[in-house]
Amino acid sequence: MPADSSFSRRGFVGGLATALGYLTLKPDGELLAHGASDALRIPLPPPGPVEDYDLAAKLGNNENPYGPPDSVMKAMTQAFKYSNRYGYPDGDIVEEIAKHHGVKAENVLLGAGSGEILTVVGRTYLGVGKKVVGVEPTYGSVYQHATGIKADAIKLPLLADFRQDIPAMIRATRMHYREIGFVYLCNPNNPTGRIVTKGEVRQLLDGIPEDMPVLVDEAYHHYVTDPEYATSLPYVIEGRQVIIARTFSKISGLAGMRLGYAVAPKEMIQQMRPHSGGSINAIVKWGGVAALRDTASQEAVKKVAIEQRTKAAAELTALGYAVVPSEGNFFMVHIRRPVVPVIEEFKKKGVIVGRPFPPMTEHLRVSIGTPDEMKRFSVAFREIFAAAPKTAGGAGSR
Ligand code: PLP
């Protein structure tokens, strides 16, 4: 640090402090002003968007409410020293991911979140007039991107029990084979939380032309307990045209840090690489390496998420509201009235819930938060729905 930098910093703070008096934040939410009058208390301005966000129960984006574990925080903190560098040791994040999955580094492509991977797949395999095949609702950013680049989507309805209709996906892909750029399979699906079984994944891959790329989005892989589910990674190792998208945003609690990746056959990674931005920061690369190793923390996050999901689903079912069986860190409840005003009602009570997912316009998606946040959801739900009649609806019914 240059010898005079402390002076210049003091000068900067000093200017501000002279203008305002010397301010410290009191725990009771007031700014205590020292200086001209020691006793002068300045009330804080009314809460703005930042305070509202911080205080809200955040059940809208399927995040890990606990944030990164200590092991990851430590790794990221140590990596801060690379903030000013372009070329720096990156913890061998690509090799670590490859090792984790039993593939080679040439099979891995990093993304600024798996959202970037979904976009890169779109840029690579779609173009004007091309189409992606998938269900609706699902994680719609694939479709939004397709529209943005003047490609299109064939969106198939879910089955009555909200599972994905694999035979319909096969039919649509075969029927429009020449126009289809890739098939999108979100497993477990967001927003429903329902899985595609390992048998169904095989049925899909065996039922469509073998050169058709299939993007399997496994963002919620780590939360699944159903033995009928399996990762589709072995298909990559087999050399099938399969791209797996994974993220550090969910179980690893790094959504704000932006890290995800694709695992795919070498040729597909080569096709995709020119379309990726390569803008992953030094800090999250080290965080990602630590996160891959900290399986104990992931188990703990999974355990409490499932406990909270089970508890919330049981409560809502007891109140007469059908809950879609979920394998993710979120669930949908059939509220039997339009969801848009209900989302606003929750917001007024300081509870942020999921956005609408047409055509499921009477279902509310709730992410699993901390036990305290879930309690706040439960209280708000009872208040908002207090007037509604209690009638039974079978679990998973529309
Ligand atoms: N895929 C699915 C299914 C998601 O739900 C999300 C985020 O909610 C993403 C991908 C993108 O996540 P990220 O870009 O943070 O990795």
Query: What tens digit of pLDDT does each residue of 327-370 get?
Result: 999 999 999 999 999 999 999 999 999 999 999 999 999 999 99
Q: Residue 190 CA: which ligand 1 atom is closest?
A: 3
Q: What is the pLDDT of residue 47?
A: 63
Share of the chain above pLDDT 70, in %: 85
**pLDDT tier at 51 (50, 70, 90 boundaries)?**
confident
Contact 31, 23 (CB under 8 A): yes
Q: Does the pLDDT of residue 388 top 90, yes or no?
A: no
139 lines ligand 1 (CB under 6 A): yes
Task: Give residue 156's pLDDT.
Answer: 98
The pTM is what?
0.87
The residue contributing the CA closest to ligand 1 atom 9 is 115
* Residues 129, 146: Cα–Cα separation, whole Å: 10
Between the two ends of the chain, the Cα-to-Cα distance in Å is 64
pLDDT in tens, 56-84: 999 999 999 999 999 999 999 999 999 99
Alpha carbon distances (Å) from 58 to 136, 244, 307, 364, 377: 25, 28, 18, 14, 10
With a cut of 80, say whether residue 44 has pLDDT above it.
no
Mean pLDDT over 200-204 rounds to 98
CATH of domain 70-293: 3.40.640.10
Peptide bond into 359 cis (omega under 30): yes
Across residues 277-301, what is the average pLDDT? 96
User: What's the gap in Å between 393 CA and the centre of ligand 1?
Assistant: 30
Q: What is the C-alpha to C-alpha distance for residues 104 and 371, in angstroms, rounded to an integer? A: 40
CA–CA gap between residue 305 and residue 303 (Å, rounded): 5
d(CA 219, CA 141) in angstroms, rounded, equals 13
**Exposure string (b/e) for 184-217, b if CB count within 10 Å is 16 or more?**
bbbbbbbbbbbbbbbebbebbbeebeeebbbbbb
pLDDT for the residue numbered 101: 98
Among 8-22, 136-150, 261-275, which is the least confidently predicted range?
A: 8-22
Domain spans of the chain, in order of start: 5-44, 57-66+296-384, 70-293
CB 109 within 8 A of CB 261: yes
Residue 249: CB within 6 Å of ligand 1? yes
CA of 247 to the centre of ligand 1 (A): 7
Fold of 57-66+296-384: Aspartate Aminotransferase, domain 1 (3.90.1150)
Contact call for residues 174 and 211 (beta carbons, < 8 A): no
Averaged pLDDT, 131-137:
98
**pLDDT, tens only, 216-264:** 999 999 999 999 999 999 999 999 999 999 999 999 999 999 999 999 9
| Nearest atom of ligand 1 to the alpha carbon of 62 | 8
255 lines ligand 1 (CB under 6 A): yes
Q: pLDDT at position 149, please?
A: 87
- φ/ψ bin of 320: left (φ > 0), alpha (ψ from -120 to 50), beta (otherwise): left
Compute, in angstroms, the gap from residue 123 CA to the centroid of ligand 1.
17
Cβ(217) – ligand 1 distance below 6 Å? yes
Check for a shared fold between 57-66+296-384 and 70-293.
no
CA-nearest of 235, 243, 306 to 269 is: 243
* Ligand 1 center–CA 216 separation, angstroms: 12
pLDDT at 49: 78
Amino acid at residue number 337: R
Quickly state the pLDDT bin for 395 (edges 50, 70, 90): very low
